[in-house]
Amino acid sequence: MTSLPAVSHCVFLRAPHGRSEALGACLGHLARRTLEAPGCLHCVAQPALHDEATWLLSAQWASEEASAAWAGTPGGDWFSLLARDGLVIHIDVQTFGQAVHAEPAMRRAS
């Protein structure tokens, strides 16, 4: 049986004109710090393929508690810090919750 992460986040962030490189640097730093947080299974920042001003930050957590604990830290308030520093003009957060246990589908050749 395979267990998927309890919580996954996909965050799309759009930088104002001329600020994409700075936003990417901040998101890269954030991803590296987040990977050190207890319960973080995966975190990566990458530019969107369709638009150089848009970035994707994705993270996966072992539990809802781990995700919530990280969000409650000073570093967890990064949305407002990015907006305050003029590095982001749009944020779209998608959160997927609760672990799903799935058995791999096995088919026998006839």
DSSP string computed for 46-109: EE-SS-TTEEEEEEEES-HHHHHHHHTSGGGGHHHHHHHTT--SEEEEEEEES--EEPPP----
Q: What is the pLDDT of residues 3-44, one digit of tens each?
A: 667 899 999 999 999 999 999 999 999 999 999 999 999 999
Domains within the chain, CATH numbers bracketed: 2-99 (3.30.70.100)
**pLDDT for 83-98, tens place per residue?**
999 999 999 999 888 6
Residue 45: which H helix or E strand, with range? strand 40-47
pLDDT of residue 75: 64
pTM above 0.75, yes or no: yes
For residue 3, what pLDDT is reported? 60
Rounded Cα distance, 101 and 56, in Å: 26
- pLDDT tens readout for residues 56-88: 999 999 999 998 888 887 766 788 889 999 999
